[in-house]
Amino acid sequence: MRGAAFFLVLLLAGAALSRAAAPAECWKLRKDGHSAEAQSCFEMLMRSSNAYERAEGFWGLEQWEQASAQFRLATQPENSKPLYKVRWGMLLHERFNESDAADLFHEALAKDPSNAEAYVGLAMISADGFDGKAEEYAAKALALDSKLAEAHELMAALALENDDREAAATEADKAIALEDDALDAMAIHAAIELIADRAPDAWFAKIDAVTGGKGSGCGEAYARVAHQLELHYRYEDAVTYYRKAIAADPRLWAAHSALGIELMRLGQEDEPRQELELSYNNGYRDAATVNSLRLLDSYKNFDTIRDDTTILKLDKNESALLAPYMQPELHTILATYAKKYRMTLPGLVQVEVYPNHEDFAVRTMGMPGLGALGVTFGEVIAMDSPSARRPGDFNWGATLWHEMSHVYILTATNHRVPRWFTEGLAVYEEGQRSPEWSNRATPEVILAIRDKKLLPVARLDRGFVYPDYPSQVIVSYFQAGTICDFIEAEWGEEKLLDMVHSYAQRVTTPHVIQQDLGLSSEEFDKQYLVWIDQKYGAEAAHFDEWREKLKALATAAEQKQYDAVVQQGPTVLALYPEYVDDANVYELMAEADRARGDAKSEEAILIAYEHAGGQQPETLKRLATLEENAGERNDAIATLERLNYIYPVKDEDLHRRLGDLLYAQKQFEGAVREYNAVVASNPVDKAGAEFNLARAYFAAGQKDKAQDSVLAALEIAPGYRPAQKLLLELQQTPPTAK
């Protein structure tokens, strides 16, 4: 630092050390990299006779409990300043207590409705939770105080998270005009340059000029850049800037934690543990840090299965069951996408499968639009196991195809792709893999179409990051997927690949649409809305009618008025045929057909349910029974095979039935897979399971494995006559020629 700026810092430092300093002066010293002076300044505050100043002093010395106790004293008098509650709220926000922090901000506003800083606090909490209210709160703060630089900085950050770079730059400039050391605003500008693949050096030079390249202000600026890169899929770049953050301020524990989590997302374990333990041991114990350490501890419970192209991490209790399904599916996906996207991935793909949804959620902390089934970080995928979800709620096959699409698109674009497009293409690819996995219009989607809540394509990212209403993330996935369906229908699938290549050139969505589709984004929106109305306009217009008629149909079914259900069901079904969730028409009609003894009609309506994307395991198993009874064994096999993508766990009956059908059809390799799944399911009849596996191996020509399995059966039940007979037959059979 040089000249007048340096002289000013010396004056501030001298003032802070010679009298009872104002808290803002102490925080400025720390922000600007003067750690020793800041330490002395906070120590002086700690000895103040004023409880509020003591609170700020303890806070600056990282003695957070003492700080909170002093804030409690400071806020007790009825006439205490609203500022005290705001600052206490900021401390609690920093220390991971969002609920009490929000209460304090609201209490400050009750005392002073014009308190802009309290609205900034609420905006910060909202932004961390991606709940969609952050902009509203920040706007209220600016309406009360348009010169509040912190609110402009927050608006800039929110705009960039929504990839609105122009608005982000404008808000950052407003903050800098108000405060020439607005480091967060400078960080936003640097992030904009990095995201656009331009040199950020000028902005980092300004940050260094203010901070001397060190201190909390410099470290936090680098960390804010890293956070923006993370939200733009630039995970390795985010790691680089989190490292710069802790180099500038080694005591920035939040950055150490963020670095550890980011490295975990890239598939590492040792360095993440070091960074997370460092954060934890220095008092930074937010949920992400604590839960990530617990997750690392749980890795000892996982098997790691490697081959030339994939790494599959499965819980030891599930790996024997799931690996024979997931690993071949991964290979099929790799072959399909390599051909389709005309590229080979540069490294191995790692897929982590979590039987505990909370463990999966830990992998996604701090990311928007989740609640999700899977998430992709470059070439690392984390996803739920089927056992983490209620049967019928989750299709692991569709999720794996979805996430693997992200791996290819992120790689093909060098992580330069808007959220809406990579999500939309991934949803589209699910439907390409199987029509039954296609994008379905849920009731939330139908209502959004009816109420005209679909976003313009140029602003669609916002629906994933900061939703304006509870179901907007679901609606945005649907809209992004159907936009890709629309492009394929009107321009051909090749145009989707052209768009991938265009995004790789670092251009915006309006430019890509104009270049590849020959339309302005506004005209594209108009044509898409016409197309979507043709597909779903009738369902949207008659949604209320459908809902009332479905209720009446469900009531008739409950009262066992089966003739009425069969007669009225087709009319209700025609109003909204994509609905296959709870109390759907398909299952109500099937139940009525079954009660009336009409197996043929029951089978027909359940086939329609299956093809519409219905996934309830018991319903599909009932269909398989009807198909088998009708002599349609191959159809029964296909139905049960579908279930292996939905809920292959905790269901030995599924695997035994499918194994028996495959064996009877002389599909012995498939029978081996299914009987192996029975064995892995820890069945009650273990000897019978091993025997069935042995005879499938024998029929498949794998005599050695057949012998191992039959011996396992006899070890469990030495007197098991069918196994004894099979062992004798094996011993009398000549060895298989090699």
Q: What is the mean pLDDT of the chain?
A: 92
pLDDT of residue 357: 74
Model confidence pLDDT, tens digit, residues 65-78: 999 999 999 999 99
For CA atoms 133, 136, 138, 140, the dihedral sign is negative
Within a domain: 312 = no
Give yes or no: residues 352 and 368 share one domain: yes
pLDDT at position 372 is 66
Residues 568 and 684 in one domain: no
| pLDDT greater than 70 at residue 4 | no
pLDDT of 322 higher than 80: yes
Confidence of residue 8 (pLDDT cuts 50, 70, 90): very low
User: Which range (132-136, 408-412, 559-563) has the least confidence?
Assistant: 132-136
d(CA 128, CA 367): 9
Provide the domain count of the chain.
Answer: 4
**289 within some domain:** no
Tell me which residue of 149, 81, 79 sits closest to 115, measured CA to CA: 81
- The confidence score (pLDDT) of residue 17 equals 39
Same domain, 149 and 73: yes
Query: What pLDDT is stored for residue 738 in this prediction?
Result: 38
Domain assignment present for 286: no
Distance of CA 297 to the CA centre of its chain: 22
Does some domain include residue 328? Answer: no
Task: Answer yes or no: is 418 within a domain.
Answer: yes
Please give the pLDDT value at position 21.
Answer: 58
Kindly tell me if the per-residue pLDDT of 323 is higher than 90.
yes
As beta bridge partners, residue 384 has 354
- The average pLDDT across 656-678 equals 97
Does 557 share its domain with 512?
Answer: no
Say whether pLDDT at 9 is over 70: no
Of the CA atoms within 13 Å of residue 20, those in its CB half-sphere come to 10
Q: Is residue 276 part of a domain?
A: no
Hey, what are 533's tokens? 């109305």
pLDDT of residue 324: 97
Q: Can you say whether residue 365 is alpha, beta or left, with left for phi > 0 and alpha for psi between -120 and 50 degrees?
A: beta
Proportion of the chain above pLDDT 90, given as a percent:
84
**Residue 305, SS3 per DSSP:** strand
At residue 480, what is the residue type?
Answer: A
Asked if residue 71 and residue 59 are part of one domain, the reply reads yes
Task: Encode pLDDT of 514-543 as tens digits.
Answer: 999 999 999 999 999 999 999 999 999 999
Same domain, 9 and 63: yes
| Helix, strand, coil percent values for the chain (each to nearest 5) | 70, 5, 25
Last residue of a domain, one of 242, 258, 274: 258
Same domain, 353 and 382: yes
Task: Please identify, among 497, 513, 540, the residue that sits at the C-terminal boundary of a domain.
Answer: 540
Looking at the structure, tell me whether residues 156 and 219 fall in a common domain.
yes
pLDDT surpasses 50 at 1: no
Residue 27: phi and psi, rounded to 5, are -65, -35
Q: Number of H helices and number of E strands within the chain?
A: 39, 5
Do residues 86 and 207 share a domain? yes
Contacts of 170 (CB under 8 A, 6+ apart): 156
Q: Which residue has the higher pLDDT, 641 or 6?
A: 641
Judge whether 324 lies within some domain.
no
* CATH code assigned at 19: 1.25.40.10
| Measured distance CA(47)–CA(564) in Å, rounded | 81
Which CATH number do you get for residue 457?
Answer: 1.10.390
Phi and psi at residue 343, to the nearest 5°: -160, 155
Which structural domain range is residue 733 located in? 651-738
Residue count of the chain, please give it: 738
Confidence band of 376 (pLDDT split at 50, 70, 90): confident
In terms of Cβ atoms closer than 10 Å to its own Cβ (0-12, 13-18, 19+), residue 269 is exposed
Using N-to-C axis directions, what is the helix angle for 494-504 and 472-491, rounded to 10°?
Answer: 120
How many Å apart are CA 688 and CA 679, to the nearest integer? 9
- Distance separating alpha carbons of residues 388 and 426, to the nearest angstrom: 22
d(Cα 455, Cα 48) in Å, to the nearest integer?
54
- How far apart, in whole angstroms, are the C-alpha atoms of residue 586 and residue 588? 6
Residues whose CB falls within 8 Å of the CB of residue 221, separated by 6 or more in sequence, listed in order: 183, 184, 186, 187, 190, 207, 211, 245
Residue pLDDT, tens place only, 141-171: 999 999 999 999 999 999 999 888 999 999 9
- In this structure, the strands spanning 349-354 and 302-306 are unpaired
Reported as a single tens digit per residue, the pLDDT across 213-240 is 888 889 999 999 999 999 998 999 999 9
Q: Do 194 and 123 have their domain in common? A: yes
82 lies in the same domain as 127 = yes
Whether residue 325 is contained in a domain is answered as: no
712-734 per-position pLDDT tens digit: 999 999 999 999 999 999 988 77
Residue where one domain finishes, among candidates 595, 622, 646: 646
**Angle subtended by helix axes 562-575 and 585-595, to nearest 10:** 160
Q: Is residue 668 very low, low, confident or very high in pLDDT (cuts 50, 70, 90)?
A: very high
Please tell me whether residues 50 and 190 are part of one structural domain: yes
**Tell me, what DSSP letter sits at residue 518?**
S
Distances (CA, A) of 150 to 56, 181, 182, 291, 643: 19, 11, 8, 31, 53
CA distance 234 to 367: 13
